[in-house]
Structure 1
Amino acid sequence: MTDAPLAGADATASRPPAARVQHLTKTYGSGQAMVRALDDVSLDIHAGEFTAVMGPSGSGKSTLMHLCAALDTATSGTVVIGDRSLEHLSDKELTRLRRDEIGFVFQSFNLVPTLTAKENILLPLSIAGRKPDSAWYDEVIATVGLGDRLGHKPNELSGGQQQRVAVARALVSRPRIVFADEPTGNLDSRSGAEVLELLRSSAADHGQTVVMVTHDPVAAAYTNRVVFLADGRVVDELRHPDREQVLEIMARMAEPGA
């Protein structure tokens, strides 16, 4: 791999953010049993960038992703996707937003075992009653390198190929933002590198906004930017990270009293 920054990454700072988090708090339980998963987090997700969110277990990184992806609701604060505040959307509007403007890549692939790779990729569009843009579909398939595997079902594909199907499924509807939750967690290092390179190129070459939750400093080094959480708060940030810089901050965060 290379730790070189994505082409044109700094230009994204002049664009409106793909997502904006303002004073976001999420609590569970009440009284002495209350857990504060997120504590007054404010953050811009820059359009066209590949951003990693890192932090120790319990830091709030998965909670942050779920709130930004409209999979959960905040206790207080605001999430804005594009120009729409999630707190003002109805359940029907949230469902449409998740379907049309948000893509998901999960650690466990989440493919339908009875469908072929092509059918899995096109499933979100089929559910929405939309036909794919044929030129964009061809470009996505070429990018993920699955042209000769489209007729295969998930059990006929390697783990890396299944995750590439999942990435293609997330990209084919041209969402405003793609959220990836530990996308290389179930992959060997070679397959993981292929998926990370694919996510990186989707940002660098196609202007896709990608947010990845990860615990892996090697994975984080593929991104434009790393945001570090601890105890539900943003505590640090790196631009154009490399593995050693990420490890240094993680080690500092692990020190007693940090």
Structure 2
Amino acid sequence: MSTFVAQPHASATAAVAAKATDLSKVYGEGETRVIALDQVSVEFRQAEYTAIMGPSGSGKSTLMHCMAGLDTVSSGSARIGDTELTGLSDKKLTRLRRDRIGFIFQAFNLLPTLNALENITLPMDIAGRKPDKEWLERVIATVGLADRLKHRPAQLSGGQQQRVAVARALAGRPDIIFGDEPTGNLDSRAGAEVLGFLRNSVRELGQTVVMVTHDPVAAAYADRVVFLADGRVVDDMPEPTAERVLEHMKRFDAKGRTS
């Protein structure tokens, strides 16, 4: 069977921020063996916003976790820039995640005893790095938090807390940001705000964002959508709209019901 290879739609001159080559992930053995990813090959270029979509169990979160160094691969290659993740020691992997990757999850993961600014700079503080003041100010302006920096999480709305999480992911100028359903716990208005900030971070700050989502409206903020099914990349949509993405997902659902 031929393997679909997702092709990036950013400028051909843009460098590759992350790349999977024939990446497979298998859980369990024997009767309990599950192939979560089956020889996936995909590139994510710098300053590109990619959404990863697919039915439940398609492998989209597993792909993100393997690419971000949060899970090991069974075979194949996962790279951040020129760095091959497979075989890195725990210490080097921890350093890579800390220094070169930003994370945004459904849960905001803010420390309640710290104010917004302290939460934003926490990863750099732990690493013993001083924030780039000019960059930090740009990030804070991009996510609209200038008047909330002294507030603790309990004093912020859910949308504001997720904006803090976005700013924290951006503040260290990572090579790439991975988001796992980053608007899953937000109402539609707050979710749209956060998605808009991520869009602006790509357009105005040159950030690279890869986001797992089940929401066609969220996917429409991206430059492209990579579709997974049964652990394989099956399609790659440039310039998505919510309507086109929804139609695509309906076809997946129809295939699932008839198979």
TM-score range, shorter chain: over 0.9
Provide Cα deviations, 1:148-180, integer angstroms capped at 9, x if missing partner.
Answer: 111111010000000000000000000000001
Query: Match for residue 207 of structure 2?
Result: 208
Query: Match for residue 110 of structure 2?
Result: 111
Measure, in 2, the Cα distance between the counterparts of 1:40 and 1:28.
Answer: 14
Kindly report which structure 2 residues correspond to 1:65-144, keeping only aligned pairs within 5 A, or say none.
65-144=64-143
Percent identity reads 64
C-alpha contact 2:10 2:48 (8 A) present in aligned 1: no
Query: Match for residue 4 of structure 1?
Result: none
Secondary structure of the residue aligned to 2:110 is coil
Matched AA of 1:150: L
Change (3 A) 1:31 1:10: closer
TM-score by length of 1: 0.95
The alignment status of 1:233 with 2:240, answered yes or no, reads no
Measure, in 2, the Cα distance between the counterparts of 1:100 and 1:12.
Answer: 26
Unaligned runs of 5+ in 2: 1-7
Secondary structure of the residue aligned to 1:255 is helix
Query: Match for residue 181 of structure 1?
Result: 180
* Post-superposition offset of 1:54: 0.4
Matched length: 250
Query: Match for residue 153 of structure 2?
Result: 154
* Post-superposition offset of 1:10: 5.5
Provide Cα deviations, 1:73-102, integer angstroms capped at 9, x if missing partner.
Answer: 001010011101011321111011000000
Query: Match for residue 220 of structure 1?
Result: 219
Change (3 A) 1:11 1:68: closer
* Post-superposition offset of 1:11: 4.9
Unaligned runs of 5+ in 1: 1-8
Kindly report which structure 2 residues correspond to 1:38-77, keeping only aligned pairs within 5 A, or say none.
38-77=37-76
Measure, in 1, the Cα distance between the counterparts of 2:10 and 2:71.
Answer: 31
Provide Cα deviations, 1:15-54, integer angstroms capped at 9, x if missing partner.
Answer: 2210010001001110121001001100001111010000
> Alpha carbon RMSD of aligned pairs, Å?
1.2
C-alpha contact 1:45 1:51 (8 A) present in aligned 2: yes
C-alpha contact 1:24 1:38 (8 A) present in aligned 2: yes
Measure, in 2, the Cα distance between the counterparts of 1:210 and 1:10.
Answer: 14
C-alpha contact 1:12 1:47 (8 A) present in aligned 2: no
Measure, in 1, the Cα distance between the counterparts of 2:10 and 2:60.
Answer: 26
Measure, in 2, the Cα distance between the counterparts of 1:199 and 1:123.
Answer: 20
Query: Match for residue 167 of structure 2?
Result: 168
Matched AA of 2:191: G
* Post-superposition offset of 1:14: 1.9
Query: Match for residue 16 of structure 2?
Result: 17
Matched AA of 2:79: V
TM-score by length of 2: 0.94
Matched AA of 1:193: A
C-alpha contact 1:51 1:211 (8 A) present in aligned 2: yes
Runs of 4+ in 1 over 6 A off after TM superposition: none
C-alpha contact 2:9 2:238 (8 A) present in aligned 1: no
Measure, in 1, the Cα distance between the counterparts of 2:239 and 2:32.
Answer: 39
Query: Match for residue 251 of structure 1?
Result: 250
Measure, in 1, the Cα distance between the counterparts of 2:9 and 2:254.
Answer: 32
Measure, in 2, the Cα distance between the counterparts of 1:11 and 1:71.
Answer: 26
C-alpha contact 1:38 1:60 (8 A) present in aligned 2: yes
C-alpha contact 1:12 1:49 (8 A) present in aligned 2: no
Measure, in 1, the Cα distance between the counterparts of 2:205 and 2:135.
Answer: 10
* Post-superposition offset of 1:141: 0.8
